[in-house]
Structure 1
Amino acid sequence: MPAASAIAAAVLDRYDKLPKKGKPALRGGKRPEWTVLAGIVKNVAQGDTEELECIALSTGLKCLSKSQLPSDGGALHDSHAEVLCRRAFIKYLYSELELARAGKSKVLEPRKETGRFKCRESVTFHLYISQSACGDASMGALERSQPEDARAENESKKRKWEESNMVDVDRADGTISTGQDARPNVVLGDLIQPGLRRGRNDYAALGVLRTKPARADAEMTLSMSCSDKIAKWNVLGLCGALLSHFIEPLYLKGITVGDLYDHVALQRALCDRIEGLKDLSPGYRTTQLELQASPIPYNWSKASILQAHPDAKPVSGDASILWDANYPIDVEVITQGRKQGFAAKKGVWHEKARAVAAVSVKALPETLREIDMCSATYGECKAASTDYRRCRDILLRHKFMGWVLTPPEHERFLIATGTAQIVRGKSQTRPSSTSGT
């Protein structure tokens, strides 16, 4: 595996070259913004040498609450850096898919046996994160890093939120319930299940699923923690259900982490929890990651901001940026789940506020040819990826039983106007990373 410093430098150098729009600001030094940076680095082995390139990059700390979720697929539910980085990577893969069909991709090659494309053996992918993933991977490190006054303030916020929302807390297992008829293991529409915690509730519970956000005084979301999502990618791959129609599962080789690095916790959260799964579909597997700490600081992390401005009170940045190497001059800026620069008029968002990715009908795989793409929904196209869905069900049934699934009503938007535009002939619109949920 390439050195941690080389992987981190590839991402940080690329980030420094991007324009300022969407990046954190100092705000005069009194309330400076901070954020988390994530990047995926491609490593091409050439004999005894390795060629590193950052191919996808993002920043972000936000996610939409349950009440903010649109039903038309027009906004991202989760804008944490790791999740957005994977979306930028998927955008990168869609353009590589077009190159591969023309025999020009240096990443993908066809596999005749399956009719899909696979990653070339010389290519591996490595994830860099400026701060350890939220959820199980960082619970211990985060608690150790907090001063006593900050911990007391968080507990106070938590109690106020619970009281204002009529929340009962089962102190034995950390699960919560709301409303006059509150009962154990239920919160906001039966979201909380045994083995699932809300944010940072019950610090001592290790190896459990957790939802975002971590703040106890914030509204509940449907988004699982980044620790949980990365562990899921280590079984199902990075492609997701839609892209798996075209490409065989692609996996991370390793992860390089900056602040809050805890090797034992990362190993447990990202790898150990998924071990022992059996009967996965061909091409799917459980992955053991190579984990390493980055020696290079990210200047806009919370730790770096506090070191540079010890008297300041940092605030989390509202905007996220997304970038991929196949569109190097195009940086998407995201606020509240939508592309920056588009506003709702009379409650209706302009179609350009959401992503459009074109796919040729002639190039559709067999798994999608029985579906009328003019009327197909996002959910129907995901469900048609039967091998992916089967492996996901095995993972959730045997390892992640408390996983919060996106409600079906949020996946019923038409694929032709949401995540992808199906056109006859050649692809006419470049793919975007800000589509779907």
Structure 2
Amino acid sequence: MSEELADKIATVSIQHYLSLPGKSGKPTNPSEWTLMSSIVLETGNKDLKVVSLGTGSKCLGKNELSKDGGLVADSHAEVLARRALLLYLYGQIHLLQNQLESDVFSKMENGKVFLKSDVRFHFFTSHTPCGDASIIPKDEPPCKVARLSEHADVHRTGAKCVPGARQDPKLAGREYHVVQAVRTKPGRGDPTASLSCSDKLAKWSAIGVQGALLSLLLDRPVFLASIVLPSNCPYSEASLRRAVIFRLPENCTNFPKFFRSSVPFPHCKLPGGKPCPTSLLWSDSKHFLGGNKSFEVAVDGRKHGLGKSKALTKAGRLKVCKVELAVMFKEVAAKLCVKVDDCNTYRDLKDKASFYNSEWKSIREFAFPEWPEKDKTFEQFCV
């Protein structure tokens, strides 16, 4: 991959973001900023197309989480773009099941859908991923940093080391942070259970972005070919590689390449500015979003613009919340004759993905021993 392609990925992502309706999860005044991430499909003929996009910088605190799977806990742009990709992939399976052509899948056979060999997915994000990748020396060339030098100060990350593991010493300069630590995102007073985007990108680089449920339907995992950042944010390829790649076992080989494009993001993070309070979620999957609508606006993990009486009902759910994604999975799985009728809860569905779960357990024990186990009480809801 070339820097020219990285610029094209950044350009098509930003142009798509700007083309979406003006009051839909984007800054509305000069003092606001937002984070934006997208996933761009590249096919064999080198066409580039944005297939998912998300904006946002907020998470729900532990006390705000929902046990019915109806709220999205993590609304950082990277996470929403990846969840919107799941919508896209379900939509592509739906096309194949209706004997229509899919951009990414070639055939269905023995309960599996096969990914085309010439398909690649690229990840654009408008700011350095929170967590370990954001710990970047301030006074060294950004692409030549192998480790933090003795006298360097570093950019800070608001993500906190998980309890019970190594903690930041918060000393001067390079001693402020420890590196390669699993971290949780900051909340608004109430601590969150959401892990940093650096940690999530590392996980996706190890076992794919498709997650447990889709792993039951696909012939192989879906990996990111590259991660592209704009020109107007802190950048260090070495820090990205340290955060996303160097923590993984040697048998993990589907690593993304990293690029800094020459293209700026127009709504970048501003000193003294305020984050946009809403998030935008877009997916090239109208079938699952309903009618001709291809985007949703979110606030506090649910649809924006609904009164309190509807906020926690089905009408208030985002299509990328756990329960809605589980319903989509069961819909396409049934048409593939994948037996899931005996699964009553979301946890039951995830337990079906035994190979995926085993792979992740092995990687987590080797590379991320401090990675917290999920609280399964939040996965016992019925689907």
Provide the alpha-carbon RMSD of the alignment.
3.0
Distance in 1, matches of 2:124 and 2:170, equals 23
CA distance in 2, matches of 1:299, 1:132: 15
Partner Cα distance (1:198, 1:257) in 2: 29
**2:62 aligned partner, one-letter code:** K
The alignment status of 1:350 with 2:347, answered yes or no, reads: no
Structure 2 CA distance, aligned partners of 1:341 and 1:43?
Answer: 35
| Amino acid of the structure 2 residue aligned with 1:211 | T
Query: Shift in Å at residue 142 of structure 1?
Result: 7.7
Match of 1:78 in 2: 74
Deviation at 1:75, TM superposition (A): 0.3
- Superposed displacement of residue 274, structure 1: 0.7
Aligned-pair CA distance for 1:195? 4.3
Asked if structure 2 preserves the Cα contact closer than 8 Å seen for 1:124 and 1:253, the reply is yes
**1:89-104 alignment, distance < 5 Å:** 89-101=85-97, 102-104=99-101
Aligned partner of 1:390 in structure 2 is 358
Q: Distance in 1 between matches of 2:80 and 2:15?
A: 19
Take 2:279 and 2:82, find their aligned partners in 1: how far apart are those partners? Answer: 13
Letter in 1 for 2:250: G
**Taking structure 1 as reference, are residues 108 and 135 closer, same or farther at Cα in structure 2, changes over 3 Å only?**
same
Amino acid aligned to 1:275: P
2:261 equivalent among 253, 276, 294 = 294
2:57 to 49, 55, 61: 61
Distance 2:103 2:380 in 1: 35
Unaligned runs of at least 5 residues, structure 2: 143-152, 287-291
Closer/same/farther in 2, CA of residues 348 and 63 from structure 1, 3 Å limit:
closer
Match of 2:203 in 1: 232
- Give deviations 1:200-226, integer Å, cap 9, x for gaps: 99743111111111x7x7321111100
- 2:237 is matched with 263
Structure 1 residue 286: Cα displacement: 3.6
Partner SS for 1:272: coil
* C-alpha contact (below 8 Å) 1:60/1:319 kept by paired residues: yes
Q: Report the residue type matching 1:14 in the other structure.
A: H
Alignment of 1:185-204 (within 5 A): 192-195=163-166, 203-204=176-177
Give the Cα–Cα distance (whole angstroms) in 2 for the partners of residues 337 and 40 of structure 1. 21
Instruction: Tell me how far apart the structure 1 counterparts of residues 335 and 314 of structure 2 sit (CA, whole Å).
Output: 25
- 5+ residue gaps, structure 1: 146-150, 159-173, 176-190, 278-284, 307-312, 416-437
Give the Cα separation in 2 of the matches to 1:106 and 1:228. Answer: 29
Query: Does the 8 Å contact 1:63/1:336 carry over to 2?
Result: yes
1:121, CA displacement in angstroms?
A: 0.9
Structure 2: distance between partners of 1:388 and 1:207: 24
Contact 2:39 2:85 in 1 (8 A): yes
Change (3 A) 1:115 1:372: closer
What letter matches 2:37 in structure 1? A
Deviation at 1:119, TM superposition (A): 1.6
Letter in 1 for 2:114: K
Give me the TM-score of the superposition, normalised by structure 1.
0.73
Aligned counterparts, 1:13-412, within 5 A: 13-27=15-29, 29=30, 32-46=31-45, 50-101=46-97, 102-110=99-107, 112=109, 115-140=111-136, 192-195=163-166, 203-213=176-186, 218-247=189-218, 248-258=220-230, 259-277=233-251, 285-302=252-269, 305=270, 313-327=272-286, 329-345=293-309, 349-354=312-317, 355=319, 356=324, 357-358=327-328, 359=331, 362-366=334-338, 368-369=339-340, 371-373=341-343, 376-412=344-380
Q: Is the 8 A contact 2:93 2:332 kept in 1?
A: no
Give 3-state SS (helix, strand or coil) of 2:39's partner: strand
Instruction: Give the TM-score, by structure 2 length.
Output: 0.83
**Structure 1 counterpart of 2:300, which letter?**
Q
1:287, CA displacement in angstroms? 2.0
- Deviation of the 1:55 alpha carbon: 0.9
1:156-196: CA deviation from partner (whole Å, max 9, x where unpaired):
x99xxxxxxxxxxxxxxx96xxxxxxxxxxxxxxx613247
**Secondary structure of residue in 1 paired with 2:179:** coil
Give distance in 1, aligned partners of 2:282 and 2:169: 31
**Distance 1:11-1:85 versus aligned 2 partners, 3 A rule:** same
**Count of residues in Structure 1 that have an aligned counterpart in Structure 2:** 348
The residue number in structure 1 matching 2:148 is none
SS at match of 1:265: helix
